[in-house]
Amino acid sequence: MRIDVLGSGSAFSMVRNTSSILVSDQQLQRWLIDCGPTVPRALWQHNFGIDEIEVIYFTHIHPDHCAGLPVLLNRWKSFGRQAPLTIYCQAEHRPILQQLTALATFPVTEICFAIEWLDIPERWTWRNWQLASAATQHEMRNLALRIEVDDHIVFYSGDGRPTSATIALMQDAEIAFQECAVATPLAEDASHGDLQSCMALAAQLDLPALGLYHCYDEALTALADTIAHQSNLFLSFDGLQIDLNNEKSIMEQVQCSGNSNE
Ligand SMILES: [Zn+2]
């Protein structure tokens, strides 16, 4: 399994793309997780072909997680994508996302490839992938995702604080990405993660690698400084690539990429 971090920034970041990852398995089956406004350009810079992403999963539909969808679909339309696309989202979010797909082709109402819309279940199978979702604590219902494929497990929180349900999904993950807005403690009922809760998580679960992301720009330096000597915590960053089949550990791969502290 390979993970490409397309974006790691918060909603209005001046220095990072909006948060999104691309997950590829050994057979190069690819899922895009979230698609904020600056994600399409990041994808084009990575030079992925127009047919290469088979599934898009939306954790929730705050604009910084979905506003790139019409741009991405518009490009796929313009370059004649043929491959069918599956979009997973929450049932109540589908009509809004379908307005974005309408925008991608307007005034034409058709697109040149099939789009299958599916609600996000709690547990399901997609081909050889085992998946599970659970709600974080966020102002809009947000479904974190656990992916298990090729004997690897990855967790991606989307927005929001960890809950007992999302912590359960992190069990045994080789790498977990957890939203972490700030380095200072937030209230228990806050809508975003903070460093204290993330450090507690990393210790409680004994995770090999916990990547913090979606951090406010002004918190990046304090976050990097505070976790600099933690053996299993890192600041995720745009362009980070992690290969779970690599003999190097995830933390070594992060360090080799050399951009984790800013
Ligand atoms: Zn959000």
Ligand 1 centroid vs 90 CA: distance in angstroms?
14
Query: Residue 187: its pLDDT value, please?
Result: 87
Query: Residue 188: its pLDDT value, please?
Result: 87
Query: Rounded to whole angstroms, how far apart are CA atoms 40 and 70?
Result: 9
Query: Residue 260: its pLDDT value, please?
Result: 45
Ligand 1 centroid vs 223 CA: distance in angstroms?
20
As a whole number, the mean pLDDT across the chain is 94
Ligand 1 centroid vs 160 CA: distance in angstroms?
7
Q: Of 126, 158, 123, nearest to 25 (Cα)?
A: 126
Contact status, residue 257 vs residue 240, Cβ threshold 8 Å? yes
Query: Residue 203: its pLDDT value, please?
Result: 87
- How do residues 218-247 score in pLDDT, each as one tens digit? 999 999 999 998 899 999 999 999 999 999
Ligand 1 centroid vs 111 CA: distance in angstroms?
28
Ligand 1 centroid vs 138 CA: distance in angstroms?
7
Q: Which residues contact 129 (CB under 8 A, 6 or more apart)?
A: 25, 29, 147, 148, 149
Ligand 1 centroid vs 149 CA: distance in angstroms?
27
Q: Let me know how long the chain is.
A: 262
Query: Rounded to whole angstroms, how far apart are CA atoms 216 and 258?
Result: 20
Average confidence (pLDDT) over 192-207: 90
- Please tell me which residue, 83 or 258, carries the higher pLDDT value: 83
Ligand 1 centroid vs 131 CA: distance in angstroms?
21
Q: Of 4, 37, 12, 20, nearest to 257 (Cα)?
A: 4
Query: Rounded to whole angstroms, how far apart are CA atoms 169 and 147?
Result: 9
Ligand 1 centroid vs 62 CA: distance in angstroms?
5
Ligand 1 centroid vs 36 CA: distance in angstroms?
11
Answer whether residue 259 shows pLDDT above 60.
Answer: no
Which domains are assigned to the chain? Answer: 2-243 (3.60.15.10)
pLDDT exceeding 90 applies to what percent of the chain? 87
